[in-house]
């Protein structure tokens, strides 16, 4: 007697388990491997989720490095802008009767060589430093993002010309040029903001352009084009919002580097003239009296300068790490004497450094 033919799996065979072989060849969304361990035809098994969280508000909130930097920045903002309303001191009148007094006696951090309260001057000096840092970061990021996005969107000969202009500006040693200008002219805070912004945007431009060149070949851009969307809409609605992760990192570094640049200029005696106060000027005056034992004129401004710059760099590094978790490792090289990261290299979403997830 002939044995009956086995019916093909999955063709309505009522027997239990008849379709298991067919089901084992497919992977359900979000599953790390198929039930039967059989890879789908034409490709390897997925090893992780198709997309990762990246730089989101939730991931930023749960990142300890980022939040530590945010808390320090928040404390410094309160210290510099709100505390002077409660701790009022005269910072414009010279009182030689109170010069170089140690901490105590109504002056929590003592007085300087002009009889000015060190703590009150520390608060007011921080206002100019933070204002400059935020202003330069916003201006350079906006200019660089728009310029780079337009250049990457247009492409071709126009893109080549626009990027040669950027390459020329990147070849300029920023801090040295700033020193030359400061030695020739008397600078104020607004002038320094304008100079730093005009010299810092090319670095942001290169990063955004590289990202736009990658994004403009994606399916969502082709879909928008096929539906009749104009270039302007594609640029500002579809492309630039997707580059936010890129220039948010450079913006945080720009704040820190701008504060450092202002302090360096003032420390060298090339900053805005008195009665302008900032941490670099306080360091200059304090170093001259350090060997006389007046330590309270040096260490407080040095501490707040270092902790503020470090906080912004912590935020930038944390954002950089979060982006790396979403799109592969983002490697940023900073110019040694520049004010912003010079270039960013992407791995196009391929797994690197032991990362087994796919983009």
Q: How far apart are the first and last CA of the chain?
A: 57
Give the rounded percent of residues in the chain with a pLDDT score beyond 90: 11
- Compare 153 and 348 and report the one with higher pLDDT: 153
| Residue labelled with tokens 């670095």 | 203
Confidence tier at 21 by pLDDT (50, 70, 90): very low
Question: What's the whole-number mean pLDDT along residues 105-120?
Answer: 83
Q: Which two tokens stand for residue 123?
A: 């608060």
Closest CA to 195 of 248, 239, 285, 132: 132
Answer for the pair 258, 339: CB distance below 8 angstroms, yes or no: yes
Confidence tier at 73 by pLDDT (50, 70, 90): very high
CATH class, 57-92+103-345 region: mainly alpha
Bridge partners (DSSP) of residue 332 are 344
The span from the CA of 197 to the CA of 201, in Å, is 6
Q: What is the pLDDT of residue 72?
A: 93
Question: What's the whole-number mean pLDDT along residues 294-301?
Answer: 87
Question: What's the whole-number mean pLDDT along residues 148-164?
Answer: 89
The span from the CA of 345 to the CA of 338, in Å, is 18
pTM above 0.75? no
Q: Is the model's pLDDT at 355 over the cut of 70?
A: no
Q: Which two tokens stand for residue 48?
A: 């992780």
Question: What's the whole-number mean pLDDT along residues 315-336?
Answer: 61
Confidence tier at 54 by pLDDT (50, 70, 90): low
Closest CA to 272 of 158, 192, 328, 196: 192
Phi-psi region of 4 (alpha: psi -120 to 50; beta: other; left: phi over 0): beta
- Judged on CB neighbours under 10 Å (0-12, 13-18, 19+), 5 is exposed
Q: Among 47-61, 165-179, 233-247, 251-265, where is mean pLDDT lowest? A: 47-61
As a whole number, the mean pLDDT across the chain is 75
Answer for the pair 225, 239: CB distance below 8 angstroms, yes or no: no
Question: What's the whole-number mean pLDDT along residues 139-149?
Answer: 91
Q: What is the pLDDT of residues 331-347, one digit of tens each?
A: 444 443 343 333 333 33
Q: What is the pLDDT of residue 291?
A: 79
Q: How many CB atoms lie within 10 A of CB 295?
A: 14
Question: What's the whole-number mean pLDDT along residues 43-56?
Answer: 44
Q: Is the model's pLDDT at 162 over the cut of 80?
A: yes
């Amino acid at each position: 007697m002939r044995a009956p033919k086995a019916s093909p799996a999955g063709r309505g065979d009522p027997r239990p388990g008849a379709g298991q072989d067919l089901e084992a060849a497919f992977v359900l969304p979000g599953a790390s491997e198929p039930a039967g361990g059989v890879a789908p035809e034409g490709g390897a098994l997925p090893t992780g989720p198709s997309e990762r969280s990246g730089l989101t508000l939730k991931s930023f909130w749960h990142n300890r490095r980022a939040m530590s930097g945010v808390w320090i920045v928040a404390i410094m903002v309160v210290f510099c802008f709100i505390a002077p309303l409660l701790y009022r001191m005269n910072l414009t009148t010279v009182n030689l009767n109170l010069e170089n007094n140690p901490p105590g006696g109504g002056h929590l951090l003592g007085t300087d060589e002009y009889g000015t309260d060190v703590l009150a001057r520390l608060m007011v000096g921080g206002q100019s430093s933070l204002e400059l840092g935020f202003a330069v970061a916003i201006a350079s990021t906006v200019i660089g993002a728009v310029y780079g996005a337009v250049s990457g969107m247009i492409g071709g000969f126009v893109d080549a010309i626009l990027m040669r202009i950027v390459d020329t500006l990147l070849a300029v040693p920023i801090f040295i040029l700033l020193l030359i200008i400061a030695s020739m002219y008397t600078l104020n805070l607004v002038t320094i903001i304008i100079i730093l912004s005009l010299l810092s945007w090319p670095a942001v431009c290169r990063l955004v352009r590289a990202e736009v060149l990658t994004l403009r070949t994606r399916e969502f851009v082709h879909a928008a084009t096929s539906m009749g969307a104009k270039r302007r809409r594609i640029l500002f609605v579809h492309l630039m919002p997707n580059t936010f992760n890129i220039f948010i990192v450079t913006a945080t570094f720009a704040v820190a580097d701008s504060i450092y640049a202002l302090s360096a200029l003032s420390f060298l005696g090339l900053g805005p003239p008195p009665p302008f106060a900032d941490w670099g000027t306080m360091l200059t005056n304090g170093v001259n009296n350090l060997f006389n034992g007046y330590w309270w004129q040096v260490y407080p401004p040095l501490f707040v300068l270092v902790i503020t710059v470090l906080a912004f760099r912590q935020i930038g590094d944390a954002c950089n790490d979060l982006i790396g978790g979403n799109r592969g490792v983002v490697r940023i090289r900073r110019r040694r004497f520049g004010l912003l990261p010079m270039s960013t290299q992407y791995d196009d979403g391929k797994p690197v450094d032991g990362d087994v997830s796919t983009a």
